Structure 1
Amino acid sequence: MTAIKHALQRDIFTPNDERLLGIVNVCKAGKKKKNCFLCATVTTERPVQVKVVKVKKSDKGDFYKRQQTWELRDLTQVDAKDASKENPEFDLHFEKVYRWLASSTAEKNSFISCIWKLNQRYLRKKVEFVNVSAQLLEELPKAEESVPSDESQSVAGGDEDALDDYQELSTREETDIESMMEMCEYAISNAEAFAEQLSKELQVLDGANIQSIMASEKQVNILMQLLDEALAEEMLQSVKEQMDQISQSNRLIQISNTNNGKLLDEIQFLVNYMDLSKGHIKALQDGDLTSPKGIEACINASEALLQCMNVALRPGHDKLMAVTQQQLLFADLRDTFARRLTNHLNNVLFVQYSTICGLPFTVIQGHDQSSTLSQHTAELTLPKHNPLHRDLLRYAKLMEWLKNTHREKYEGLSRTYVDYMSRLYEREIKDFFEVAKIKMAGTTKEAKGKFATLPRKESALKQETESLHGSSGKLTGSTSSLNKLTVQGSNSRRSQSSSLLDMGNMSASDLDVADRTKFDKIFEQVLSELEPLCLAEQDFISKFFKLQQHPTITPPLAQNIDTPCPQSEKDMVRLMMNKIFQSIETELNSLIALGDKIDSFNSLYMLVKMSHHVWTAENVDPASYLSTTLGNVLVTVKRNFDKCISGQIRQMEEVKISKKSKVGILLFVTGFEEFAELAETIFRNAERRGDLDKAYVKLIRAVFMNVEKVASESQKTPRDVVMMENFHHIFSTLSRLKISCLDAERREAKHKYTDHLQSYVINSLGQPLEKLNHFFEGVEARVAQGVREEEVSYQLAFNKQELRKVIKEYPGKEVKKGLDNLYKKVDKHLCEEESLLQVVWHSMQDEFIRQYKHFEDLIGRCYPGSGITMEFTIQDMLEYFSSIAQSH
């Protein structure tokens, strides 16, 4: 657009003695887009005429031409359509309404602003501006207001138009200005006095200019008379020379006035933007940094100083001695206040901080101080630092100023804060986790029993615990002792570990449910204390050190921390948090290891709790230090959980059974049941339910495989009994717990139980009527060979006489005796806890009746009309089975 503007000025308006002040690329609204330009111009001659000119390219497109011109005085209304939203449409009301669509809202606003300024300056009749924001109509530069209204200066404002008015000083003018500045020795040291003198001289020049103009009017009248005479006397040449002299004189006066005005503007600019009040200087040099009023004064003074230092100087300003002196003054004030602010925060605020926390400031130098552990032992809480954060945040704006003006001191203060806080937090967190470990180690009865048998006895343990409440020097010794206690206690616990095998020997009370619940509460308390502590510190760091404003910065701590330089302020915050809380991840992993040693099933509680806190931290800020740290620790917890599952599977594989006793329900089968009951309670509505489902599948497959392995190796108990009882127990467990991911395994367990029950019944029942079975097997064989069923009785070996002989060998008394022996045999095979004896006995009854009916059917088909029947009936058999079951 700038190139187009210069081309239009050169080709169209300069030849017509006009100056182009505003331009907008438009097309008529609602019609086919034929772009043209609306130009706001003023004439260079007086009286000034203001016009709106429509310019468009020629049909060939090689030059521009004027198409239509309107006088600004004929404009009655400017309608911008919408004052609150961006809209490129606008209307100009002349003798009729012209509707335009600008190429952009910015161009439209710039053009309307130019029209408003021209209207304000040159027209008595004011144009009505509709739907134009008040802010747009108030953007007339101050510099323009100071220029006399009778000067033909640019009304558009800005440096570009000002450059159009620039006139080079003649040699004589340069000599005059230098002489004038030499006469005024204070021109550099006292710019205001020099500007005042120039203003007075400018007024004198204006008066001389007016007198010259008035004198010129008299001369013009004389010249007009002379022209009349010259027409007769051929003296036109002398008239031309006089006119040229008058024109040259007026032009030189106008140039001088313009240059003097611009010089005054430059001086006024420097005075306005490079002057700092005495009150601000005093606040920077010795303002009170302890009271709220003093801090506010220092904040205002520092902001004013920053504005003076950041002012955009125009070309040539940096060569002025007064400007150089002011810049040196500003630099000295900046360094003085930065040094004073840094010393104050280092020597006073951090000392007050240590006092708020109940610790002498010498903790910074690493001296032994009284531990804060005793203050928080009972409730297992971490000290809160909100009062200190609140006090320090009063200086947040000053820290931002320090960051923008004196980076070195800002970085030094950041390093000092990080170093101090890392020492303080390391001490508090170490004490906090020591208490948590003591409470955690005391949750198990086994650990307590083991402690009682240690050589140091209970009094030694008490003394060790009391040493934790003493100085930090004793704290180191207590750590190793605690580790010894917890390891020995955990080894005792490990010897009675809550594995799937060992759990089978325990009752529900032996599982230490109360201890596990207590462990869960302790672990949750630890995470609940760490979470607000880290979030509060991170929020404070972001606000106090102003690390959330820009996308990239230079890291202040890169030389102090052996990590790659951060690329953003978020990296900077995370780097500071890593340094301050460098012990949290180590302490958490140590606590997790202790919990796993105490009871491997604690990994279930830790997985659920840690997952929930990671999920919560990620919702607050996925890139926060807390989210990252807990995520790293979660990996360790998940690894312990997987190790717990693998350990249960390994113990299943290593199980050995006694050769002299029946198997019954295997330990790892009941162990899986109790594991599932515990896990379902822990993982109810948990985020990591998928991990448990995967573990379930691994465990149940291992249970299936090892049940079959034990059943195959069993010598005392039949394989079918081992399979039947254990898969019945598994099926009952899965049906009761309703674990959806194990539906397929539940159906498989039922199928295995049913198959092995039937197999055991058939194999155990065998052929209670053995000779009858052999006899009828022979009958069926003859039929299979082609002998007709009604002719079987004519076979010598299978005639009616032989059948009666076999039936007589099985009276009811013998049958009942055989069934009684069978019941005793089954009772020896089955275990009491599964209570399957009656189920098996009922199945045997059904199988026996089935065989009986099969025999009767063969007699009816192969020996019709013989009248041969068994010596006992089905009703007799039902009584036999019932009486045998009741008698035992």
Structure 2
Amino acid sequence: MQRPQEHGQQAELQEGLSAFQEVTPEEAAAVLALLEEHEPLLSHSVAFAEHLGQELQGLEEANLRAIISSEQQLAQLMSALDEALAEVGRVEETLRVCDELLEGVRQQMEHIHRESSLLHHLASNRTRLMDEILFLTSQLQLSQEHRTALSRADLSSPAAIGACTAAAQALSSCMDLPIHPSYRKLQAVAEQLILFETLKQNFESAFIHHITNIFKLQGNYQAPVLGHPMAVPSHGPHHEELLPYTPLMAWLRNTSPALFWDLLKVYSQNLGRLYEREIKALFEQAKISLSGRRKGSLQETWEKPTGTRQPRWSFPRSRESQEDTQTRGNIGRVLEQVLSELQPLCTSEQQFLQEFFWLGCDSVELQALEGSATKGGEPMAPPEDPPHTKTQSQPEEATTQLLSEIFSCLEPELRAFLDVCNTVHPLGCLQVLVTLSDSVFGTWGPSSAPPLSFLDSLLGNVLLLAKSNFNKCIGTLCKEMEEARPPSRMRGGVLPCVSRFQEFLAFSEELLRTSRHRGELDKAQLRLASSVFSSINSLSSANLKVNTDMVMMENFHHIHNFLCQRNIPCLESKKREAKQRSREHMEKYITTHVGQPLEWLKHFFEGVKARLAQGVKEEEVSFQLAYSKQELRKVIEKYPGKEVKRALETLYRTIHKHLSPEENLLPVVWQAMEQGFIRQYREFEDLIQRCYAGAGIALDFTMEDLLSYFNSITMSNM
């Protein structure tokens, strides 16, 4: 029974505790402040309790007075709120009335805005309609003056051409207007466009007919005979006759490209016949000037057989030498004159085609130029630097094609003329190559730039042919030189192949005296020099009546002297080789002939040197039976001083016989022979001192005697 009672007490305690609230920090701070304020009274609890009671009573009285006062203010506040609510009601009523009034105003403003928008669209449509009407009536209107000019198509005078040009350009302006497709359905617009097309077609036909007649007349033109036979008539008058029609050609190219390109074909066909006659006449006169014969004999010259013709490298030496000398100069001069006539002819024609037919301009540039070609209805001169000049360094494909058709006979005639040049002179191909190189590279400039004109391009192709012909000619010359053999009765001197090589060098260097383009010639000279050297090396004693070494020495010496005189840079290595080969063959010749005057002595001492080489001691050589002192004395007795001098005189005559007088090598060879003889004498003396010392053996002549022999022979033959 106690446990339920205890449990009830605990529950009441928990309930009482839960009724209390936790003291907040502010309340705790207030309690502490109160305790600090009444700290002296804390020791008298009764007094303190009384004091607290008095203060609590004062607070309750103050609270009551505050409550009574707040009720009065609350009543005043409620009265003020009632008045405010009444005022708000009146304001809302006023706002409602204003909103009703503004709703009417808004509807009226919306109506006004709609009316204003309709008026704006109406004014805009009227303005656009007026603009379109003015555009159609003004821009699609061609003046009566222009209509008359196009209908009459009078192209007989510069003024009439100017009027037609202005009318045609005005017609193009009308026809090129950007018209809406729907406008073309209007009857007035359709009739106007039909009128424009009719005027255009009629004027095109009249203009093409007129310009075609001019082309035909120019193509059939017969130029008067000029004072100079090798001269081409100038085409300046023909060009000046056509230049006034330049703006109309631009107009035709823009409006009817097919008719324009057909007109170019008509021009090339008619003018091509004129140029063909003039070019053929020019080359015919060039061939006559080259041969110095009349036309009939000239044809016979080209057609006669050449089966008995001499070798290519065999220059004429008989009565025709003077005529051949003139021909050498004529080939280059005539070809230069031909090129000097062709250069202005082709250049002026190319410039005229680019200016008259506006080749090299695209459609945009052409339209801009066509628009600026006339001013105030009067034709203006073409600009000083028309747009095609920007492509003049590389002509358009149309220009090149047109020029190729007009000058279709030029390249075949030029190639045929080069063949004639090659026939007239053995080295005509060299003169042609030099002249063409100077002409082509002189036009291109120092750099390898592309050709600037049609003729430059054509000459570049012909130059390749000239190089090929020259290389073939040099190949033939090299083969003939290598296979050439001297005559069976030849007794020395300069070989024919060396003489021809010398003539080729002299001729080519004289030809290139004022030329800077010698690349192909340098290669040719090197090839010919190698062939000449090969021909000299292939000589055999069976084909000559004299010593082979002497002939080789003489020819290499001749080549060296000639190259020293000419000073040709590309042949410097050949010059040094010729000098070395000449020296080598001279040494071989001297080695072969130096022992002839003392032949037995030479054989004897060669045997002595052989024994020494085999290991025999020098003091034991004299004990060899074949090389004893007695044998040596016998050999020495065969060569007294008088006999030696006589043998040297015979040797001198032999050398004189072997050498040709043109080269004047006798003193040089004789001096070299003297030096070789002195070396041989000293060698004999040395072997006698080494192998036969103390035997009292000596040659019958001394060094002084030997020098006096040579000096006496030299002086007696001066």
- Structure 1 CA distance, aligned partners of 2:620 and 2:482? 60
Select the structure that is richer in strand: 1
- Aligned match of 1:655: 484
Select the structure that is richer in helix: 2
- Structure 1 CA distance, aligned partners of 2:278 and 2:102? 105
- Aligned match of 1:608: 434
User: Could you tell me which amino acid in structure 2 is paired with residue 519 of structure 1?
Assistant: I
1:581 counterpart = 2:447: no
Query: What are the residue-to-residue correspondences of 1:732-881 with 2, within 5 Å?
Result: 732-784=561-613, 786=615, 788-789=617-618, 802-864=631-693, 868-881=697-710
- Per-residue CA deviations over 1:464-499 (Å, capped at 9, x if unaligned) read x4xxxxxxxxxxxx6xx74323333x849x7356x4
How far 1:540 moved relative to its partner? 0.8
Contact 1:669 1:730 in 2 (8 A): yes
How far 1:508 moved relative to its partner? 12
How far 1:679 moved relative to its partner? 0.9
- Structure 1 CA distance, aligned partners of 2:632 and 2:109? 164
Going from structure 1 to structure 2, the CA distance change for 1:414 and 1:792 (only over 3 Å counts) comes to closer
- Per-residue CA deviations over 1:832-851 (Å, capped at 9, x if unaligned) read 33332232222211111111
- Aligned match of 2:309: 495
- Structure 2 CA distance, aligned partners of 1:647 and 1:639? 12
User: Could you tell me which amino acid in structure 1 is paired with residue 240 of structure 2?
Assistant: R
User: Could you tell me which amino acid in structure 2 is paired with residue 584 of structure 1?
Assistant: L
Q: Which TM-score applies when normalising by structure 1?
A: 0.62
How far 1:530 moved relative to its partner? 0.9
1:427 counterpart = 2:277: yes
- Aligned match of 2:423: 597
How far 1:787 moved relative to its partner? 5.3
Query: What are the residue-to-residue correspondences of 1:42-441 with 2, within 5 Å?
Result: 231=97, 239-286=105-152, 288-314=154-180, 316-347=182-213, 349-350=214-215, 353=218, 358=222, 374-375=225-226, 378-441=228-291
How far 1:521 moved relative to its partner? 0.9
Contact 2:216 2:270 in 1 (8 A): no
How far 1:803 moved relative to its partner? 4.0
1:485 counterpart = 2:301: yes
Contact 2:622 2:629 in 1 (8 A): yes
User: Could you tell me which amino acid in structure 2 is paired with residue 486 of structure 1?
Assistant: W
- Per-residue CA deviations over 1:174-233 (Å, capped at 9, x if unaligned) read xxxxxxxxxxxxxxxxxxxxxxxxxxxxxxxxxxxxxxxxxxxxxxxxxxxxxx999389
The alignment of Structure 1 onto Structure 2 pairs a total of residues equal to 594
Task: Work out which of the residue numbers 331, 343, 346 in structure 2 matches 1:531.
Answer: 343
- Structure 1 CA distance, aligned partners of 2:144 and 2:656? 108
- Aligned match of 1:633: 462
- Aligned match of 1:192: none
Residue segments in structure 2 that go unaligned for 5+ positions in a row: 1-93, 366-393
**SS of residue in 2 equivalent to 1:542:** helix
User: Could you tell me which amino acid in structure 1 is paired with residue 332 of structure 2?
Assistant: D
- Structure 2 CA distance, aligned partners of 1:312 and 1:533? 45
1:671 counterpart = 2:485: no
User: Which has more radius of gyration?
Assistant: 2
Contact 2:493 2:551 in 1 (8 A): yes
- Structure 2 CA distance, aligned partners of 1:432 and 1:794? 95
Q: Which TM-score applies when normalising by structure 2?
A: 0.76
How far 1:729 moved relative to its partner? 1.6
How far 1:424 moved relative to its partner? 1.0
User: Could you tell me which amino acid in structure 1 is paired with residue 412 of structure 2?
Assistant: T
Going from structure 1 to structure 2, the CA distance change for 1:233 and 1:398 (only over 3 Å counts) comes to closer
- Structure 1 CA distance, aligned partners of 2:553 and 2:681? 26
How far 1:782 moved relative to its partner? 4.8
- Aligned match of 1:518: 330
User: Could you tell me which amino acid in structure 2 is paired with residue 339 of structure 1?
Assistant: S
User: Could you tell me which amino acid in structure 2 is paired with residue 436 of structure 1?
Assistant: A
Give RMSD over aligned pairs. Answer: 3.2
**SS of residue in 1 equivalent to 2:299:** helix
User: Could you tell me which amino acid in structure 1 is paired with residue 335 of structure 2?
Assistant: F
How far 1:317 moved relative to its partner? 3.3
**SS of residue in 2 equivalent to 1:832:** coil
- Structure 1 CA distance, aligned partners of 2:428 and 2:139? 69
Going from structure 1 to structure 2, the CA distance change for 1:616 and 1:272 (only over 3 Å counts) comes to farther
User: Could you tell me which amino acid in structure 2 is paired with residue 614 of structure 1?
Assistant: V
1:545 counterpart = 2:395: no
How far 1:401 moved relative to its partner? 0.5
**SS of residue in 1 equivalent to 2:226:** helix
- Structure 2 CA distance, aligned partners of 1:292 and 1:725? 80
- Aligned match of 1:718: 547
User: Could you tell me which amino acid in structure 2 is paired with residue 487 of structure 1?
Assistant: E
- Structure 1 CA distance, aligned partners of 2:211 and 2:696? 119
How far 1:537 moved relative to its partner? 0.8
Contact 2:360 2:396 in 1 (8 A): yes
Contact 1:664 1:831 in 2 (8 A): yes
- Structure 1 CA distance, aligned partners of 2:605 and 2:474? 55
How far 1:574 moved relative to its partner? 1.4
- Aligned match of 1:33: none
**SS of residue in 1 equivalent to 2:701:** coil
Fraction of identical pairs, as percent: 41
Contact 1:608 1:687 in 2 (8 A): no
User: Could you tell me which amino acid in structure 2 is paired with residue 484 of structure 1?
Assistant: E
Going from structure 1 to structure 2, the CA distance change for 1:823 and 1:597 (only over 3 Å counts) comes to same
User: Could you tell me which amino acid in structure 2 is paired with residue 776 of structure 1?
Assistant: F
How far 1:858 moved relative to its partner? 2.5
- Per-residue CA deviations over 1:791-843 (Å, capped at 9, x if unaligned) read 65566765655544433321111001111222222233223333322322222
Going from structure 1 to structure 2, the CA distance change for 1:710 and 1:769 (only over 3 Å counts) comes to closer
- Range 521-530 or range 248-257, more displaced: 248-257
- Aligned match of 1:215: none
Going from structure 1 to structure 2, the CA distance change for 1:807 and 1:332 (only over 3 Å counts) comes to same
How far 1:882 moved relative to its partner? 3.2
Residue segments in structure 1 that go unaligned for 5+ positions in a row: 1-227, 360-371, 443-447, 449-460, 466-477, 554-567
- Aligned match of 1:470: none
Going from structure 1 to structure 2, the CA distance change for 1:552 and 1:392 (only over 3 Å counts) comes to same
Going from structure 1 to structure 2, the CA distance change for 1:289 and 1:385 (only over 3 Å counts) comes to same
- Structure 1 CA distance, aligned partners of 2:323 and 2:536? 24
How far 1:310 moved relative to its partner? 1.4
- Per-residue CA deviations over 1:66-111 (Å, capped at 9, x if unaligned) read xxxxxxxxxxxxxxxxxxxxxxxxxxxxxxxxxxxxxxxxxxxxxx
User: Could you tell me which amino acid in structure 1 is paired with residue 301 of structure 2?
Assistant: L
Contact 1:487 1:597 in 2 (8 A): no
Contact 1:550 1:569 in 2 (8 A): no
Contact 1:826 1:837 in 2 (8 A): yes
- Structure 2 CA distance, aligned partners of 1:410 and 1:551? 13
User: Could you tell me which amino acid in structure 2 is paired with residue 591 of structure 1?
Assistant: F
Contact 1:500 1:671 in 2 (8 A): yes
